[in-house]
Amino acid sequence: MPSPIRILTAVPICDGHDSAINTINLEFIRHGIEVVYLGYHRSVTDIVRAAIQEDVRAVGISSYNGGHIEFFSEVTGLLQKRGASDIKVFGGGGGTITQQDAAAMKRKGVDNIFFAGTSLAEMTDYVRTQYGKPRNKRPRPRSPEQELAHKLSEIEDAYASVSRKRPTASAQRSRSNKTVRHSSVAIRHSSRAERARVMGFTGPGGAGKTTLIDELVLRFLNQNSRGRIAILSHDPSVVGEGALLGDRATMINSQNDRVFMRSMATRGQAGGLSPATQDCLALLARSGFDYVIIETVGTGQEAMPFQKNGVVDQTVLVMNPDYGSRLQLQKIVMLDLADIVVVNKSDLQRARTAHTEIEQRLEQNGRDQRLIDTVAKRHRDAGVDQLFKLISTGR
């Protein structure tokens, strides 16, 4: 395969046992597999929606609360119903799944069940052997969402091939032009001629970017009963290694059929984005969404992720009040470039001081930058309301 193996892992609804799946996720990552982790207490619909949008090779389910025969069967059945039978299903449940249960589940289309005592090496070898082969002829997409997911995979695969072959600059440009042609297929089928409004979110790890985005999505869905939004989220990885793509695990409001979310690994590129990001973002922006939100990896002082990207309309820098001394503020380049600066977790003790120091720093720039305090984890937070109004109306 030109790209790393991508799988999705999840824990079923009414099951909060995530210790085993977290251990298995880490083992997969160490062996070069990209894992989209959906988290625990996830419904069949959540899992199938995510698997199709992420265009993964397989879904791994960890079930310890019983009801596994019905749950696994519902997942395989819904994948087939939605034309995604090429996405396979495997899983396990320690001692809760018997040999007889596993036989019944395999008759329902489940690839494999791992039992108690199976080593992590056996699981990893199975995934790499079973899902590391090139896909056969893929089923024809049954929905625009599925077609879009396939096109995003084509773009990532094209860039992965370039990375492995290390071509000349002219060959890279040729490959880039090819990915643009891939993108134009979906653009021609778009129901909207205009481009979506694209918002770029960046900031250090732990600042609460994902939670903040999820709250903004909730407000958008409530405001526009027919609107659609896309999220392009990034997590770090190095070339040839795996990645934990875990932003979906903290998304609650974004588990909605009107939200399309795609997780990407940086695959060795510095600056918080993937080599394929620009083409993927251009495709999403022309695919009929009202808004597209792009979230970078947690960034440091030097990162300027959107400067070379002409698609982003507005940049939001999300900060934590505990950034250090005033001297640190002078080193954060994104404070010069961001259109909106958000001090999230503003309920913390140092938040008022942080607001004052950042405000003084922004005044030195002489630009029309906005500073907003939020507590994204708080229900109906006034600061998040203010941020949403500013993004959606420009004032």
| 167 has pLDDT over 70 | no
Dihedrals phi, psi of 57, to nearest 5 degrees: -80, -35
* % pLDDT > 90, the chain: 73
Q: Look at residue 42 in the predicted model and tell me its pLDDT.
A: 96
Are residues 110 and 158 located together in one domain of the fold?
A: no
Domain assignment of residue 291, yes or no: yes
Please check whether residue 59 is in contact with residue 34, taking contact to mean a CB–CB distance below 8 angstroms: no
Dihedral sign for Cα 69, 71, 76, 78, please.
positive
Domain around 57? 6-131
Judgement on whether residues 162 and 285 belong to the same structural domain of the protein: no
- Does one domain contain both 212 and 242? yes
Q: Does the pLDDT at position 144 exceed 50?
A: yes
List residues bridging with 243 in a β-sheet. 34
Whether 136 is in a domain gets the answer no
Which is higher by pLDDT, 143 or 170? 143
**pLDDT recorded at residue 295:** 95
- Please check whether residues 332 and 222 belong to one and the same domain: yes
pLDDT at residue number 139: 84
| 346 & 242 share domain | yes
The residues that bridge with 261 in the sheet, in sequence order, are 231
pLDDT score, position 170: 43
What pLDDT digit, counting tens, does each position of 352-373 carry? 999 999 999 999 999 999 999 9
pLDDT, position 94: 86
Pairwise CA distance, residues 215 & 254, whole Å: 9
The answer to whether residue 320 scores a pLDDT higher than 80 is yes
| Together in a domain, 170 and 242 | no
Question: How many Å apart are CA 336 and CA 369, to the nearest integer?
Answer: 9
User: pLDDT digits over 123-137, tens only?
Assistant: 999 999 999 988 878
- Residue 163, pLDDT > 80, answer no
Contact 38, 46 (CB under 8 A): yes
Q: Is residue 295 part of a domain?
A: yes
Instruction: Examine the domain organization and report whether 159 and 280 are in the same domain.
Output: no
> What are 42's strand-pairing partners?
12
Q: What are the tens digits of pLDDT across the range 19-36? A: 999 999 999 999 999 999
Give the Cα separation of 204 and 207 in Å (integer).
6
Say if residue 227's pLDDT is above 80: yes
Give the C-alpha separation, 106 to 371, whole Å. 55
State the CATH number of the domain containing residue 104.
3.40.50.280
Query: Is 53 inside any structural domain?
Result: yes
State the chain's mean pLDDT as an integer: 89
The pLDDT score that the predictor gives to residue 184 is: 40
Q: Which residue has the higher pLDDT, 104 or 268?
A: 104
Average of per-residue pLDDT across 182-199 = 58
Residues 215, 118 within the same domain: no
383: in domain: yes
The domain that holds 324 is classified in CATH as 3.40.50.300
Q: Report the pLDDT averaged over residues 334-339.
A: 91
Residues 164 and 253 in one domain: no
In a domain, residue 137? The reply is no
Q: Say yes or no: 257 and 178 in one domain.
A: no
| Residue from 264, 256, 208 nearest 235 by CA | 264
Residue 182 reports pLDDT greater than 70: no
* Model pTM score: 0.91
Q: Does residue 1 sit within a domain?
A: no
- pLDDT tens string 72-87: 999 999 999 999 999 9
Q: What is the pLDDT of residue 165?
A: 53
The pLDDT confidence band at residue 306, using thresholds 50, 70 and 90, is confident
pLDDT of residue 192 exceeding 80, the answer is no
Residues 180 and 289 in one domain: no
Question: Looking at the domain assignment, is residue 214 inside a domain?
Answer: yes
149 lies in the same domain as 126:
no
Q: How many domains does the chain have?
A: 3
